[in-house]
Amino acid sequence: MPESGSSYDPHGPAVIVDPYSSGAQLAPAFTARGIPVVALLTAPRPPAVYASSYRPQDFGTVLIHEGSIAGLAARVGALRPRCVLAGTESGVELAERLAPLVVAEVANVATLADARRHKARMAEAVALSGHRTIPQVCASDRQQVTRWIQETGLSGSDLVIKPPKSAGTDGVTFVPGGRGWARVFDKALHSTNQLGIVNDSLVVQQHIAGTEYVVDTFSHDGLHTVTDVCRYTKIHNDSQMAVYDTMEWVDPNTPVVAELVEYTRGVLDAVGMRFGAAHVELMHTESGPVLIEMAARSHGGGQPRFCKLATNDSQIERTVRYFDGDHDISMSYQLVNQTLIVFHIVPSTSQVADTDGMDRIRKLPSYYESSANFKPGDHIEITKDLFGSLAVGFVVLSGQDRAALWKDYATIRSIEAEMFRPCSPASAADTAQQPA
């Protein structure tokens, strides 16, 4: 039942909380359909990792959350919005608290809001629903972790330590054999992640092996439609275990997809998703799929735009169509183009020798688009997480021949080895301090 005070109006503006990253695509898409869009910011300035994607000119109204949630609900409610959506991860928590107060008819389950943002709470909700999860503990006390390791028989096992409210693999650390886990834990505890959130606790979990996938969805009225399934490959880069290598769109007829989708829909039910986009990362193991984490927002890094290339649809497209009154949303998707994203990887602190290699990459048969945020002479830090990958750049390959894409992938990696020349961190810092 809608909560009292709901000011939902199916003809009102769309409110986007922190319209950054892929969420920046929502405003132009709504505007193209004649729907006004309001930006609601969780802070006066975007987190640094999202700043370049913010386009204030896309909004007729920009609000900043300062004060109580009740006061904000009154301000937003006065606009009589048709939806309140998270643009990116930094906006999820506020969007999930605000939507039930102003657009209850198209909001997610309010009592499960924490399970859609906090990685430990979401795992608890999924486990309670009867679905398999990764053994883990969330703690602010090292002794609690020590007891958990002993009680679960994980002494000497590979572990993963990560913040409960980060994004983009920020702070995800692999601890082989569990050696030195306490040092990693102490260093990360009380540090500030790239969203500006202090890590007042940490998730410690068993490291599991398998093939990683992401299932992207759009939900309405509790029905979870699938916009795409992608397969990730990631590498270990020094102590960082979650450095993106590639992301490939998977044909929906691939046998594993049905199993992944069934598990994903169970996860979304468990965390109370009823409306909006979600991004669900899974590991497919010998025992089947298991949740890594989910997010109550669209896939980041600009992915929906490339999903449109691969499937002729995306989470952005479905979201805007639905809130414009078109409720005929397909439950699945079609793969119209083989599509592969290759993330540039800097294996150690390096200097850019030249960028001639990018000209060669642009001439590859399956080349579609690229982002290269470097120039000759630049010093680039070792790639540690998705934010670091996106800061360097990526290449999008697309076509009908999957083997041709992977051939071009191998060429890109060999070209990278020529462009990025390893150097010591000290020499990089010295060079950076020299006058231009």
Q: Does domain 338-428 have CATH number 3.90.1170?
A: yes
Q: Label the pairing between strands 379-380 and 338-343.
A: unpaired
Structure tokens at 4: 């009292």
Spans of all domains in the chain? 14-107, 135-207, 338-428
Measured distance CA(69)–CA(395) in Å, rounded: 41
Measured distance CA(395)–CA(406) in Å, rounded: 12
CATH class of 14-107: alpha beta
Fold of 135-207: Dna Ligase; domain 1 (3.30.1490)
Measured distance CA(88)–CA(299) in Å, rounded: 8
Residue that has been written with the tokens 């001639």 in this structure: 356
Three-state DSSP class for 300?
Answer: coil
Output the CA torsion sign for 222, 225, 231, 234: negative
**What string of pLDDT tens digits covers the 436 residues of the chain?**
344 568 899 999 999 999 999 999 999 999 999 999 999 999 999 988 889 999 999 999 999 999 899 999 999 999 999 999 999 999 999 999 999 999 999 999 999 999 999 999 999 999 999 999 999 999 999 999 999 999 999 999 999 999 988 766 677 888 999 999 999 999 989 888 767 778 889 999 999 999 999 999 999 999 999 999 999 997 765 555 567 899 999 999 999 999 999 999 999 999 999 999 999 999 999 999 999 999 999 999 889 999 999 999 999 999 999 999 999 999 999 999 999 999 998 877 888 888 899 999 999 999 999 998 888 888 888 877 667 777 888 999 999 999 999 999 999 999 998 988 888 655 544 444 333 3
